[in-house]
């Protein structure tokens, strides 16, 4: 048996070496100490076992064995494999087996098999207390001959084990602290990025009250938006440029369970193709020229909130594929990174493109379309709700006149008639611009419409009347042919037109086959 003086020397050396170690070198120091345990106690293998206080999970985290011994994989999670053995360690009982094969009870079937597999003759494991709980155990074994474990040896093993357990516990605490500080730093960065973004966007009120209009068409849009807003469903807003899809997206977000989290907007059409992926998913420092620092993408900024992908039809097929992955499982990587991140984001997408046509021509992925079109809402153009135009005109007047130093009390009937009859290809955005210019030109209480706009509106009205005549003629012919365009005796032949030319003209005139 090793004498007390030698043990005190080993103990003093271990204590000095293990105290105050940095977390990143503790594992190496523990393995070196296990080698000294094997040498001091004249065994063949030693292991440090950790018991998780939360769920009692058991894992071999450190081990050292003589070259001739059967190796043990580390770390090896062994929870549930050895119920008899682990239950005793959790209860704080020392497991002392002078002859493993003879002394293991009959119910320790798995333990007996493991001992045979690893040529284990004798074994002792001592549970270790840290902070009043058994969180570790130090075990050593012989694999070449049997031996007896004296009480003094078990106690000495326990003393050495307490030094190792304390070092590992300090390492775990230090790493947990580092991880917590890293999480806090990441959260601080994200909050700062969110605040920067929110300061950049318009601090407009969000609500259906922003969506002006009383016609049935716009009321149906609002009803659909109110129905889907409280859910987590993806929404696809379809409509021409300037119809107010962005306003509707803000209203849906404001009435969702995510209203307290940010609404992050990405104008896919305004971003250069080379930057779209970086803007959506972020990038790491040095990922490309000019990436002088890591930057979170819009998905990270929108985590827990809503991401509004405006003009989604402008995304390249490559970015569409990566977007589809995020929508399917919430996972993505920053540009230049290998670490996978997750984000819990609700998607509201919008486009003024015909996505059916884009899919037919291979410019938009069908699988992405089916993912984003769970709840489509078509936002009607102004020409389909002309009765709302007077109300919208007055809303624009009230919104801008004080800022421009005007006080309008009346809009002449002829001016309102011009505004109402105009087709508004730019929709509400164009209407806002026309009213703003009218306010600037008006020096008194009566709104004065720009003469140039009036002339353009009358010319467009005449063209619209011609288009209406052509549209009506096409519809009559199509109805006669049961809406068949190609083939003998069908619409294209009756009109004397090439079928592709007719389809193009029908699209321009917005002639659509009515639903069956």
**Tell me, what's the pLDDT at 179?**
74
Alpha helices in 408-498 (DSSP H): 413-421, 427-441, 451-480, 491-495
Indicate if the pLDDT at residue 1 is higher than 50: no
Please tell me which of 200-204, 234-238, 332-336 the model is most confident about, judged by mean pLDDT.
Answer: 234-238
375-418 residue pLDDT tens: 999 999 998 899 999 999 999 999 999 999 999 999 999 889 88
Say what percent of the chain tops pLDDT 70.
90
Q: Which residues sit opposite 58 in a β-bridge?
A: 51
Mean pLDDT lowest among 23-27, 321-325, 497-501: 23-27
Mean pLDDT lowest among 20-29, 415-424, 474-483: 20-29
pTM for the whole structure: 0.55
Q: Which long-range contacts (CB under 8 A, 24 or more apart) does 438-442 make?
A: 439/397, 439/400, 439/401, 439/404, 439/406, 439/408, 440/404, 442/406, 442/408
Say how far apart CA 299 and CA 318 lie, in whole Å. 17
Mean pLDDT of 432-460: 86
Count of alpha carbons within 13 Å of 49, Cβ hemisphere only? 28
Higher pLDDT, 253 or 186: 253
Indicate if the pLDDT at residue 236 is higher than 70: yes
Sign for the CA dihedral angle at 456, 459, 465, 471 comes to negative
pLDDT band at 238 (very low <50, low <70, confident <90, very high): very high
194-206 residue pLDDT tens: 666 655 543 433 4
303-333 residue pLDDT tens: 999 999 999 999 989 889 988 988 888 888 8
What tokens does 380 get? 């009607």
Say how far apart CA 183 and CA 458 lie, in whole Å. 62
Higher pLDDT, 238 or 115: 238
Higher pLDDT, 205 or 70: 70
Say how far apart CA 190 and CA 143 lie, in whole Å. 55
Mean pLDDT of 209-236: 88
Please tell me which of 51-55, 116-120, 215-219, 432-436 the model is most confident about, judged by mean pLDDT.
Answer: 432-436
The burial class, CB within 10 Å (0-12 / 13-18 / 19+), for 511 is: middle
Mean pLDDT of 77-98: 80
Count of alpha carbons within 13 Å of 329, Cβ hemisphere only? 8
Name the average pLDDT for the chain: 84
Higher pLDDT, 229 or 503: 229
Residue 58 host element (H or E): strand 58-65
Higher pLDDT, 458 or 117: 117
User: Measured in Å, how far apart are the chain's first and last C-alpha atoms?
Assistant: 96
Give whole-number Cα distances, 246 to 352, 355, 449, in Å: 12, 18, 27
Report whether 460 contacts 423 (CB < 8 A).
yes
**Tell me, what's the pLDDT at 199?**
54
Say what percent of the chain tops pLDDT 90.
29
Indicate if the pLDDT at residue 56 is higher than 50: yes
- Torsion angle, alpha carbons of 311, 312, 317, 319, to 10: 110
CB within 8 Å of 470: residues ≥ 6 apart: 505, 509
All domains of the chain, ordered by start, with CATH? 4-175 (3.30.450.40), 208-378 (3.40.50.300), 383-508 (1.10.8.60)
Angle at 402 between CA 400 and CA 407, to 5 degrees: 100
Mean pLDDT lowest among 58-67, 168-177, 437-446, 479-488: 168-177
**Tell me, what's the pLDDT at 328?**
87
Sign for the CA dihedral angle at 453, 455, 458, 460 comes to negative
Q: Is the peptide bond before 75 cis (omega within 30 degrees of 0)?
A: yes
Indicate if the pLDDT at residue 426 is higher than 50: yes
Among 379, 353, 89, 138, which residue's Cα sits nearest to residue 246? Answer: 379
Total count of residues recorded for the chain: 516
Indicate if the pLDDT at residue 70 is higher than 70: no
Residue 210: DSSP 8-state: G
3-class secondary structure per residue, 329-342: HCEECCECCCCCEE
**Tell me, what's the pLDDT at 450?**
85
Report whether 437 contacts 453 (CB < 8 A).
yes
Say how far apart CA 292 and CA 170 lie, in whole Å. 36
């Amino acid at each position: 048996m090793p004498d007390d003086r030698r043990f005190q020397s080993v103990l003093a050396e271990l204590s000095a070496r293990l105290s105050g170690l940095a977390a990143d070198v503790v594992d190496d120091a523990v393995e070196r100490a296990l080698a000294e345990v094997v040498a001091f106690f004249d065994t063949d293998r030693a292991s440090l076992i950790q018991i998780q206080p939360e769920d009692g999970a058991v894992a071999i985290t450190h081990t050292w064995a003589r070259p001739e011994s059967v190796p043990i994989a580390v770390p090896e999670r062994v929870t549930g494999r050895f119920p008899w053995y682990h239950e005793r360690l959790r209860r704080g009982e020392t497991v002392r087996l002078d002859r493993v094969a003879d002394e293991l009870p009959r119910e320790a079937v798995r333990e007996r098999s493991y001992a045979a597999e690893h040529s284990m003759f004798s074994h002792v494991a001592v549970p270790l207390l840290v902070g009043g709980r058994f969180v570790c155990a130090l075990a050593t074994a012989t694999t070449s001959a049997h031996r007896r474990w004296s009480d003094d040896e078990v106690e000495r093993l326990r003393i050495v084990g307490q030094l190792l357990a304390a070092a590992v516990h300090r390492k775990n605490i230090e790493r947990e602290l580092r991880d917590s500080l890293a999480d806090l730093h990441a959260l601080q960065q994200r909050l700062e990025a969110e605040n920067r973004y929110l300061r950049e966007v318009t601090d407009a009120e969000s609500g259906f009250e922003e969506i002006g209009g009383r016609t049935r068409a716009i009321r149906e849009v609002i009803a659909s938006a109110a129905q889907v807003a409280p859910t987590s469903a993806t929404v696809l807003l379809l409509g021409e440029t300037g119809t107010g899809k962005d306003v509707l997206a803000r209203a849906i977000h404001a009435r969702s369970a995510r209203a307290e989290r940010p609404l992050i907007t990405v104008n896919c059409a305004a971003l250069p193709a080379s930057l779209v992926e970086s803007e959506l998913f972020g990038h790491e420092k040095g990922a490309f020229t000019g990436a002088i620092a890591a930057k979170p993408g819009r998905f990270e900024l929108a985590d827990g909130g809503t991401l509004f992908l405006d003009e989604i039809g402008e995304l390249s097929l490559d970015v569409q594929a990566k977007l589809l992955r995020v929508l399917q499982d919430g996972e993505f990587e920053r540009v230049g990174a290998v670490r996978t991140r997750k984000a819990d984001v609700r998607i509201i997408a919008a486009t003024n493109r015909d996505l059916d046509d884009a899919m037919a021509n291979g410019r938009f992925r069908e699988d992405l379309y089916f993912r984003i079109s769970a709840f489509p809402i078509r936002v009607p153009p102004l020409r389909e709700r002309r009765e709302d135009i007077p109300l919208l005109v007055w809303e624009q007047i009230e919104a801008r006149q004080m800022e421009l130093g005007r006080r309008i009390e009346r809009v002449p009937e002829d001016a309102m008639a011009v505004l109402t009859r105009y087709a508004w290809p730019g929709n509400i955005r164009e209407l806002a611009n026309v009213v703003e210019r009218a306010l600037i030109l008006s020096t008194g209480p009566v709104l004065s419409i720009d003469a140039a706009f009036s002339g353009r509106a009358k010319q467009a009205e005449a063209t619209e009347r011609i288009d209406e005549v052509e549209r009506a003629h096409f519809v009559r012919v199509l109805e006669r042919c049961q809406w068949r365009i190609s083939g003998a005796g069908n619409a294209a032949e009756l009109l004397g037109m090439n079928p592709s030319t007719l389809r193009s003209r029908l699209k321009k005139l917005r002639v659509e086959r009515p639903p069956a």
